[in-house]
Structure 1
Amino acid sequence: MFRFQNGTVSINMRGFLMFIAMLIYCQPEYLKSIPVTGRIYRDFMHVGIMFVTFSYISKKRFPKFFVWLVLLYNSWLTFLTIQNNGDIKRAIFQLLLFTGFVSMIDIFSENMQDLIESLLFTFEMVVYLNFVTVLFFPDGFFHRVNDAYGITKEWFLGADNNFLFTLFPATLIALLYKNLGGVKIRAYSLISIILATQLIKGSGTAKVGIVALILFDLVPLVKYILTPYRGLVISSTLSFLIVVTGKVEFLRGIVEGILEKDLTFTSRTFIWDNAMSAIREKPFGYGMMMFTDNVHILGNFPGWIWKGATHAHNNFLQVLFQGGYLGFGVYFLIILKGAMLCRKYWDDRNARLLFYGLFIFTIISITENLEMQMMYLVIILPFLLPNILVKERGKNE
């Protein structure tokens, strides 16, 4: 984005435009909590939709397959939400936010160098700012009050359990940027700050996921062991054993020692049981319900209602709960197609990196709801592998 030549600094306007767009869609929690900036985000989100629509029409371009899948999935959720008289405003907002974001990535993917650098610069800004707030405000940079948790402690990126939604895709982009010939010190610096942030404030799930992604990329032997087929089988098997059958005793050391949770995954097993019962009752899905309605279904514990159960605390159960089997089929197709594309280009290091990100995404999904716009980078980047390979060939020539 910035070019240094003969002691002068020039700005790549195309890269700068990409950076502004990515910054708008990144939306750190602190800025969203401020009424003025929150309104600016909402207004610019509509501008983004108009921009991508104009770009597709003016360039006579057809959106890539992943854009249609994301649009279909979120349109189905919106339809179900309207049909079930749910949180219609939130459903429409998510439809515009997620579809606009992946469309923007598609439009800008014509120049992968500028896109990756713009994403990196965006993550650098929000990650470094978040680290400053974590470092100097250990008891929280700002606070909010909710029924489930009382007074919250939050930093620039929100509560520490939510850092994952930004720091994991940031790690993936930093590694991809490095592999594509970017300035290594920038990538290493960002990764170092991400690890330091997790060391000070972070969840066990995020720590394991981020460290695993870094190690998988560094250790060549992994490519012979963790292939796309094996990865999908492993994640599917673990999901079935842990969530459906409840057999977690064999994972006691990992759950209690590394993830820092008990064998109920901090009461998640009760929520999973409630979610599966609700899915059986309504296989076509509930759409996006009001949070209070979610609580009475998912948080119905023996003898009491837990107000923190506003979602299924499992990404795939959440997709099933909201979108039913049809919504889940579309969502899973995005992941499956991405894995197949990684397998097609398996000899390339970046194809393997993107699959490792996808694999870890499916593992993290067992205990986390990952329906956040920046996490969509993890599942749509494999669709851009042909563009990435072109960029890589240009680097090597």
Structure 2
Amino acid sequence: MRIKKSKLLFFFYAIIMLWPEYFSNSLTGLMANALALVGLLFVFKNSKRISRFSILAAVYFVYFVVDTYFHGGGDIHTLISNMKIVISIMFVDVYLTKEDQYDTISTIFWIVFFFAMLNFATLLLFPNGMYQISTVWNEWGTTTYALYWIFGSKNSHAFWYLLLEILVGLRCYIRPSRNNKILTYLCLPISILSQMILESSTATIATIIGAAGALSVVLFKKWNKEINAYFILCANFVFNALLIFGMTGFLGGIVHALFNKDLTFSNRTVAWGRAVTNILQRPITGTGILTSDEMKSVLGSLSFNQAHNEWLQCLWQGGIILFVILVLLLITIAGKINRIQHRNLRFMCCMFFISVFIEMAFEVWLGLVFTWLMLLLIYKAESIQSEVG
């Protein structure tokens, strides 16, 4: 059987794009750079198929990098790493529009499925981590050890399994075959169980919500309720404002029940307070991209290499300008969700929209291609619906 060159290119591109850091080496790094150049040529050749989502994502990253150089930070790695994310977003976006959507989603799914199952096996086989990284806190030798697996530390696994959930859900929506339903029933419990093993309460809640969305296209013939994605977006910002500015006293019981955290959210409030202080110093343009060591220094702790909240991180490093770009992008996604006529598919996208926001309330994710790929899939669901008819 003859395989199209474009399919072969996409297969290798997707593998390298999703290649876990644990397996990375100089060879995979060279392959990633080479495929990025090929991907750039592919995108340029099919530039008319680039969506508004990709354009806004490109504006987000271009401004972020330019802002970083303007403030005297960044290097060639800063430019290359961020531009590779932009190329990846556009490449998948264009390919989903140009080629068979089910085959494209299936290609990404099987790659994510393989790595996710491999990582899940390591969680069972190595409950104390495949390796550990120690942090020496003071001159008296106080040391803690962070556990790591294929997908990294416990807070790094969430979007892998959320991506697995939305991919298996979309496959089942496009082709609701018996085999696809069985795969859905396999992937969703494993996604949730992996977060429970890691004792990541936030990720557990996020994957449960995502699983509920994916199940909606499998179990229910018709979802009777309509959810407005704009409401989800507004509710997200209200929720974040309550968290950040300390108006969470009345939420104490809910927070403890859902996230198993006190109202400091594992001391994240300390990072939030310091981030807000720094935002006020450069509110318009921010600081540009900071290194991990620079962030630890500013936040005043070895345990904080980020603001632990996506919206604060965006305002801190990119200022109001970057935040506005991000809000426009999210409004664009919400608008696309609201255009979905199939109520079960719309419900699924809304649930994953919520899952993304839950994760972003406590961690920083927009520096990773997985997050953007997930947002792209939510955005493209409306066109997927059109193809299914």
TM over 0.5: yes
| Mapped contact 1:88–1:288 kept (Cα < 8 A) | no
| Mapped contact 1:78–1:88 kept (Cα < 8 A) | no
Q: 1:164 aligns with which of 132, 145, 158?
A: 158
User: How far 1:213 moved relative to its partner?
Assistant: 1.9
In 1, Cα distance between equivalents of 2:84 and 2:208: 29
Counterpart for residue 140 of structure 2: none
Q: 2:13 aligns with which of 21, 29, 32?
A: 21
- 2:196 aligned with 1:207: no
What is the RMSD computed on CA atoms of the aligned residues? 2.4
Q: 2:171 aligns with which of 177, 182, 187?
A: 177
- 2:358 aligned with 1:363: yes
- 2:114 aligned with 1:122: no
- 2:91 aligned with 1:104: yes
Q: 2:329 aligns with which of 323, 329, 334?
A: 334
- 2:332 aligned with 1:343: no
The letter of the residue matching 1:383 is: Y
TM-score by length of 1: 0.86
In 1, Cα distance between equivalents of 2:63 and 2:102: 34
The letter of the residue matching 1:155 is: W
Counterpart for residue 51 of structure 2: 64
The structure-2 alpha-carbon separation of the partners of 1:365 and 1:58, relative to structure 1 and needing over 3 Å to count, comes to closer
The structure-2 alpha-carbon separation of the partners of 1:27 and 1:344, relative to structure 1 and needing over 3 Å to count, comes to same
Q: 1:388 aligns with which of 372, 381, 384?
A: 384
User: How far 1:10 moved relative to its partner?
Assistant: 8.6
User: How far 1:150 moved relative to its partner?
Assistant: 4.7
Q: 1:31 aligns with which of 15, 23, 41?
A: 23
User: How far 1:227 moved relative to its partner?
Assistant: 2.1
| Mapped contact 1:18–1:114 kept (Cα < 8 A) | no
In 2, Cα distance between equivalents of 1:362 and 1:348: 21
User: How far 1:333 moved relative to its partner?
Assistant: 1.2
Structure 2 counterparts to residues 1-397 of structure 1, below 5 A:
14-32=6-24, 37=25, 39-59=26-46, 61-109=48-96, 110=98, 111-146=100-135, 150-181=144-175, 183-218=180-215, 224=225, 226-244=227-245, 246-283=246-283, 284-299=285-300, 306-371=301-366, 372-393=368-389
Q: Which runs of 5+ in 1 are unaligned?
A: 1-8, 300-305
How far does the alpha carbon of each residue in 1:77-107 deviate from its partner, in whole angstroms, 9 at most, with x for none?
A: 1112222222434522431231122012112
In 1, Cα distance between equivalents of 2:251 and 2:378: 30
Q: How many equivalent residue pairs?
A: 373
| Mapped contact 1:346–1:352 kept (Cα < 8 A) | no
In 2, Cα distance between equivalents of 1:387 and 1:41: 33
| Mapped contact 1:223–1:352 kept (Cα < 8 A) | no
In 2, Cα distance between equivalents of 1:56 and 1:295: 37
| Mapped contact 2:213–2:349 kept (Cα < 8 A) | no
User: How far 1:313 moved relative to its partner?
Assistant: 0.2
| Mapped contact 2:337–2:346 kept (Cα < 8 A) | yes
- Which stretch of the first structure deviates more once superposed, 128-137 or 251-260? 251-260
- Which stretch of the first structure deviates more once superposed, 274-283 or 48-57? 48-57
Q: Secondary structure at the match of 1:153?
A: strand
User: How far 1:160 moved relative to its partner?
Assistant: 1.5
Q: Secondary structure at the match of 1:224?
A: coil
User: How far 1:199 moved relative to its partner?
Assistant: 2.6
User: How far 1:315 moved relative to its partner?
Assistant: 0.7
- Which stretch of the first structure deviates more once superposed, 272-281 or 145-154? 145-154
| Mapped contact 1:198–1:207 kept (Cα < 8 A) | yes
Q: Secondary structure at the match of 1:286?
A: coil
| Mapped contact 1:130–1:155 kept (Cα < 8 A) | yes
In 2, Cα distance between equivalents of 1:62 and 1:147: 51
- Which stretch of the first structure deviates more once superposed, 182-191 or 208-217? 182-191
In 1, Cα distance between equivalents of 2:288 and 2:28: 24
| Mapped contact 1:28–1:157 kept (Cα < 8 A) | yes
How far does the alpha carbon of each residue in 1:157-193 deviate from its partner, in whole angstroms, 9 at most, with x for none?
A: 1112211121112211111111111522223222232
Q: Secondary structure at the match of 1:85?
A: coil
The structure-2 alpha-carbon separation of the partners of 1:200 and 1:253, relative to structure 1 and needing over 3 Å to count, comes to same
In 2, Cα distance between equivalents of 1:60 and 1:265: 44
How far does the alpha carbon of each residue in 1:26-75 deviate from its partner, in whole angstroms, 9 at most, with x for none?
A: 1313113xxxx2x2333223223222222234346352222221111111
User: How far 1:15 moved relative to its partner?
Assistant: 4.4
| Mapped contact 1:239–1:366 kept (Cα < 8 A) | yes
Counterpart for residue 6 of structure 1: none
| Mapped contact 2:40–2:87 kept (Cα < 8 A) | no
In 2, Cα distance between equivalents of 1:242 and 1:388: 36
Q: Which runs of 5+ in 2 are unaligned?
A: 138-142
Q: Secondary structure at the match of 1:252?
A: helix
TM-score by length of 2: 0.88
In 2, Cα distance between equivalents of 1:17 and 1:228: 35
In 2, Cα distance between equivalents of 1:321 and 1:170: 31
Counterpart for residue 4 of structure 1: none
